[in-house]
Amino acid sequence: MVPAPDFHLHGSDIFIGNLPTIFSQWLEGKEYSKVVVLTDQNTQRDCLPLMAPCLPELAKIITIPAGEQHKSLQTCDYIWNGFLEHHLDRKALLINLGGGVVGDMGGFCAAVWKRGIDFIQVPTTLLAMTDAAIGGKTGVDYQGVKNIIGAFNAPAAVLVDPLFLQTLPERELLSGLAEVLKHGFIGDPELLEIVTKSHPTKWEHSDWTTILHKSIAVKVKVVDQDPFEKGLRALLNFGHSIGHALESYFLTTNSPITHGEAIAIGMICESPKTSRKRVADLIQAFFPKVAIPESAFPEIWQYMQQDKKNSSGAVLMAVPDEYPLSVKLIPVTETQLHETLRGYNV
Ligand SMILES: NC(=O)c1ccc[n+]([C@@H]2O[C@H](COP(=O)([O-])OP(=O)(O)OC[C@H]3O[C@@H](n4cnc5c(N)ncnc54)[C@H](O)[C@@H]3O)[C@@H](O)[C@H]2O)c1
Ligand SMILES: [Zn+2]
């Protein structure tokens, strides 16, 4: 019997629990002509062994190199070649076993293969479990621009098993934790309390099932109300206007920072004055301060001007409005950005 999903979002069932059990039950009675698993080199080594016992005997594996630099049309070409080689017809199932890179790219490859085949997301990073695998956005980077080619394509199911976090490097775990905190700030104060108390920076120490359940619930609620990014979904970009700009800037230095580290700073800097200290105290319990050189402020401003949320020349930040779940788009000037970064540095 198929277990009851924890969430249902636009045609996707989302389950949290033991992957082999849930997957076997989910697959029962479905008549897929073929099952293909997409992994990257790391998830092939660390995650496939957990999934292998429940895969059909004839399942095929396609493995791509790990890392954002491979989230490209060239890699899609390699994946589609694999589909051809394995004779995938319209009734095939693709399983994306990996972080956001594998999930976004696999979902895109599935969207256009024979005009669309079923796929499921099996996220293996904290970031993918709580964010990337939920919501149906798929795509790849192109000519240095992130996620610029893609499609909305809902997975048939998302299977979240916290056990995969066991092998995830700690810095990646922490990166995902920034998105969990974001979900807490925008929609669930109790989640913030649990995270603060349990301090889940290691796999061993935490009740991941509860944390993931609460964190995914916030993303599901927001996406459910705004499937095509017309309004409320901007709330998920809290911390990302300044955060993305910092991520891009630090990529050009000898000490790049992770996406999560960048949006952690972003959330502090984008918080209204009234809640800034509370946000900063909470975030800095997990993320040590990063010095942002004053000479880089103009460059960071340049990056902010490229943000997707901007309209008619104004640079906009998405900031949580009053609880529950609502968003304000606030225009920001270069002078204000400099001030806020200076404030962060002291
Ligand atoms: N679709 C969306 O809505 C959405 C939302 C947020 C982010 N994203 C995308 O997600 C991507 C980032 O995702 P990510 O942080 O998961 O990066 P990632 O997929 O690159 O994974 C990070 C690293 O961890 C390794 N890894 C993954 N799982 C592992 C495990 N269990 N054990 C050991 N190693 C493991 C990977 O091989 C990789 O080296 C970006 O491309 C971003 O654009 C998409
Ligand atoms: Zn993010």
SS3 142: strand
In the residue annotation, 342 being an active-site residue is answered as no
pLDDT band at 1 (very low <50, low <70, confident <90, very high): confident
Q: Which residue type occupies 37?
A: V
Q: Which helix (H) or strand (E) holds 98?
A: strand 92-98
Please say whether the beta carbons of 73 and 104 come within 8 A. no
Using pLDDT thresholds of 50, 70 and 90, give the confidence band for residue 323. Answer: low
CA angle at 270 for the pair 264 and 276, rounded to the nearest 5°: 85
- Counting ligands in written order, the one closest to the CA of 261 is 2
339 noted as active-site residue:
no
Rounded to 5 degrees, φ, ψ at 265 are -65, -40
Q: Would the CB of 249 count as within 6 Å of ligand 1?
A: no
User: Is the pLDDT confidence value at 174 over 80?
Assistant: yes
275 pLDDT more than 80: yes
Confidence of residue 321 (pLDDT cuts 50, 70, 90): confident
CA distance 275 to 232: 21
How much helix, strand and coil, in percent to the nearest 5, is found in the chain? 50, 20, 30
For 328, the 3-state DSSP assignment is strand
219 is known as an active-site residue:
yes
With 80 as the cut, is the pLDDT of residue 301 above it? yes
Is it the case that residue 203 has pLDDT exceeding 90?
Answer: no
Ligand nearest to the CA of 132: 1
Rounded to whole angstroms, what are the CA distances from 180 to 208, 210, 343? 11, 12, 24
Would the pLDDT of 278 be above 70? yes
Return the percentage of the chain with pLDDT > 70, whole number: 99
| Residue-wise pLDDT tens digits, 207-233 | 999 999 999 999 999 999 987 777 899
Can you give the pTM of this predicted structure?
Answer: 0.96
Tokens of 41: 């080199």
d(CA 245, CA 125) in angstroms, rounded, equals 23
**pLDDT at residue 229, as a whole number:** 72
Q: What is the pLDDT of residues 99-134, one digit of tens each?
A: 999 999 999 999 999 999 999 999 999 999 999 999
CA distances from 307 to 31, 75, 300, 334 (A): 43, 26, 11, 14
The active-site residue out of 244, 247, 261, 270 is 244
pLDDT tens readout for residues 134-161: 999 999 999 988 899 999 999 999 999 9
Q: Is the CB of 141 under 6 A from ligand 1?
A: no
In 3D, which of 173, 184, 293, 316 has the Cα closest to residue 242? 316
Domains defined for the chain, CATH in brackets:
7-168 (3.40.50.1970), 177-345 (1.20.1090.10)
Q: Catalytic residue at 205?
A: no
Provide the 3-class DSSP secondary structure of residue 63.
strand
| Residue having the nearest C-alpha atom to atom 21 of ligand 1 | 99
Ligand 1 centroid–CA 299 distance in Å is: 27
